[in-house]
């Protein structure tokens, strides 16, 4: 692996916390992701299911975990199943994890090969009344693809129709939303790698470069610093493309006088960073561009202060909306009549700022977290306001990654990444 793994005490604690919330006489099963085909004999690079990784630290395909907290034998409370290496696999793919190494990484003592899974599952299933199944219930989830987990659940419920079913996801939503300090350190490392990419890009950008060339500068720096690459599909949007929220074509030439909106982030050890910066192609903002830029930055700075313990998602976004309204009025995009005529469902600011300000960040870029729960210490959020003005030919978004703290101001993990307009201009022209 490219990254330094966390100590297995983290995963032991994660499993214990999960099992402490399970019902009596129950077991929970988790499956790794598929390796997804493209066409012919090609496949997408494997990405481990983040729940498996959270519970074990195992980053290998065909991994399964059974948690059985009511076992009288402590060793069998946790069962890990891994893919066996054979001679063919060793030659073509390389050695897979040994049982000893799997134990070292995960802290699970009872490690088996996957071919033993169904027999061991059957032996445990006779002793429990309830299966915890792991469905994707994230509020943004909308993929029609049937996953390895989906297929397993269908088989399990058909095989054991008399068992009750409970859901793993609500437990994991709360557990994963609060980060251990070691997890925050992994996110910080991802942010540091992102900074290196951005520093490189600031010195690279000039009129007539292509969006995809900027993307290439980022990926070079990311991989060169122990990252697998982008944590999500990067947005490199110049000119009018600034106003397309999820622009990913990255195939236009950057022209003098335009802005480039870059929404990019490196991953490290399966943890995500998520940064947005908007910079001038020429190295200098116009007067109007800087005016709007500073308004977005003001909203970001004020919104960050609102990420405090006890606040909640609904209040936070209403508060940010009020701040954005003030800034839009200040720069002449809305007037008193717009504010007077706004409604709760159609606030005036939505014409120029139509997306949310924040999302949870961690093992997933849009990480686990229940929106109705109050903010708690060591939750990690993005803060990403934007102002989009198609009629003026540009849009601006700025984004940092922030940790909620109990006795101090929110911790900005990207505080050392340039964001002040004058500083960006100085670097680009140095």
Q: What is the CATH number of the domain that holds 365?
A: 3.90.230.10
Residue 117 maps to which CATH number?
Answer: 3.40.350.10
Quote the mean pLDDT of the chain: 96
The reply to whether 2 falls in a domain is no
Report which of 366, 377, 354, 356 is spatially closest to residue 313, judged by C-alpha positions: 356
d(CA 219, CA 128): 48
Same domain, 104 and 15: yes
In this model, does residue 188 exceed pLDDT 90? yes
The reply to whether 116 falls in a domain is yes
Same domain, 156 and 195: no
Same domain, 414 and 284: yes
* Predicted confidence (pLDDT) per residue in 231-280, tens digit: 999 999 999 999 999 999 999 999 999 999 999 999 999 999 999 999 99
Which two three-digit tokens encode residue 100? 């000893």
Output the CA torsion sign for 330, 332, 337, 338. Answer: negative
* Predicted confidence (pLDDT) per residue in 346-395, tens digit: 999 999 999 999 999 999 999 999 999 999 999 999 999 999 999 999 99
Q: H helices of 160-284, where?
A: 169-177, 181-204, 211-223
Side-chain half-sphere of 104: how many Cα atoms within 13 Å?
6
Residue 279 · residue 297 · CB < 8 Å: no
The reply to whether 211 falls in a domain is yes
Domain assignment of residue 205, given as a range: 181-428
The reply to whether 197 falls in a domain is yes
* Predicted confidence (pLDDT) per residue in 269-323, tens digit: 999 999 999 999 999 999 999 999 999 999 999 999 999 999 999 999 999 999 9
Same domain, 269 and 157: no
Same domain, 66 and 152: yes
Same domain, 164 and 193: no
What pLDDT does residue 76 have? 84
For residue 87, what pLDDT band results from cuts at 50, 70 and 90?
Answer: confident
What pLDDT does residue 175 have? 98
d(CA 319, CA 306): 8
How many domains is the chain built from?
2
What pLDDT does residue 24 have? 93
What pLDDT does residue 287 have? 98
Same domain, 243 and 116: no
In this model, does residue 67 exceed pLDDT 90? yes
In this model, does residue 100 exceed pLDDT 90? yes
Same domain, 185 and 164: no
* Predicted confidence (pLDDT) per residue in 130-178, tens digit: 999 999 999 999 889 999 999 999 999 999 999 999 999 999 999 999 9
Same domain, 185 and 85: no
- Which of 120, 142, 177 terminates a domain? The answer is 177
d(CA 412, CA 101): 36
Same domain, 367 and 274: yes
Question: In the predicted model, what is the mean pLDDT of residues 59-84?
Answer: 94
d(CA 261, CA 243): 9
Query: What is 70-85 written as a DSSP string?
Result: T-SSGGGGEEEEEPPP
In this model, does residue 45 exceed pLDDT 90? yes
- Which of 177, 210, 225 terminates a domain? The answer is 177
What pLDDT does residue 74 have? 80
Residue 295 · residue 328 · CB < 8 Å: yes
Cα-Cα end-to-end distance for the chain: 37
Same domain, 283 and 348: yes
The reply to whether 376 falls in a domain is yes
The reply to whether 1 falls in a domain is no
What pLDDT does residue 91 have? 83
In this model, does residue 407 exceed pLDDT 90? no
d(CA 349, CA 243): 15
- Which of 177, 197, 221 terminates a domain? The answer is 177
Same domain, 170 and 195: no
């Amino acid at each position: 692996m490219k990254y330094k793994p966390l100590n297995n005490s983290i995963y032991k604690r994660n499993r214990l916390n999960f099992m402490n919330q399970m019902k009596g006489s129950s077991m929970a099963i988790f499956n790794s992701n598929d390796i997804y085909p493209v066409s012919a004999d090609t496949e997408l690079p494997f990405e481990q299911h983040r729940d498996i990784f959270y519970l074990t630290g195992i980053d290998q395909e065909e991994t399964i975990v059974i948690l059985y907290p009511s076992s009288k034998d402590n060793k069998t409370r946790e069962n890990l199943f891994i893919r066996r290496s054979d001679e063919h696999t060793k030659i073509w793919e390389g050695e897979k994890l040994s049982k000893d190494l799997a134990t070292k990484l995960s802290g699970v003592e009872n490690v088996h090969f996957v071919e033993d899974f169904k027999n061991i599952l059957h032996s445990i299933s006779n002793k429990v009344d309830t299966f915890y199944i792991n469905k994707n219930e994230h509020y943004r989830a909308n993929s029609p693809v049937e996953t390895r987990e989906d297929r397993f659940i269908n088989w399990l419920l058909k095989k054991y129709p008399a068992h009750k079913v409970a859901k793993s996801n609500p437990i994991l939503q709360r557990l994963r939303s609060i980060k251990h300090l070691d997890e925050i350190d992994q996110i910080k490392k991802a942010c540091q790698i992102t900074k290196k990419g951005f520093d490189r890009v600031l010195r690279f950008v000039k009129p007539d470069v292509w969006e995809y060339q900027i993307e290439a500068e980022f990926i070079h720096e990311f991989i060169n610093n122990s990252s697998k690459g982008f944590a999500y599909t990067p947005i490199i949007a110049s000119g009018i493309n600034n106003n397309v929220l999820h622009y990913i074509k990255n195939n236009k030439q950057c022209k003098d006088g335009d802005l480039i909106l870059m929404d990019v982030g490196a991953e490290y050890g399966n943890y995500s960073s998520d940064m947005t910066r908007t910079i001038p192609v020429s190295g200098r903002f116009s007067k109007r561009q800087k005016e709007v830029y500073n308004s977005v930055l003001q909203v970001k700075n004020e919104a960050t202060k609102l990420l405090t313990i006890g606040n909640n998602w609904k209040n936070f976004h209403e508060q940010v909306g009020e701040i954005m309204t003030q800034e839009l009025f200040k720069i002449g995009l809305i007037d008193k009549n717009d504010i007077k005529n706004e409604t709760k469902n159609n606030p005036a600011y939505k014409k120029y700022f139509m997306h949310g300000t924040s999302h949870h960040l961690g093992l997933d870029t849009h990480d686990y977290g229940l929106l109705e729960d109050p903010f708690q210490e060591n939750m990690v959020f993005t803060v990403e306001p934007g102002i989009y003005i198609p009629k003026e030919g540009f849009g601006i978004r700025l984004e940092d990654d922030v940790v909620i703290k109990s006795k101090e101001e929110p911790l900005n993990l990207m505080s050392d990444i340039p964001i002040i307009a004058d500083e960006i201009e100085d670097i680009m022209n140095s």
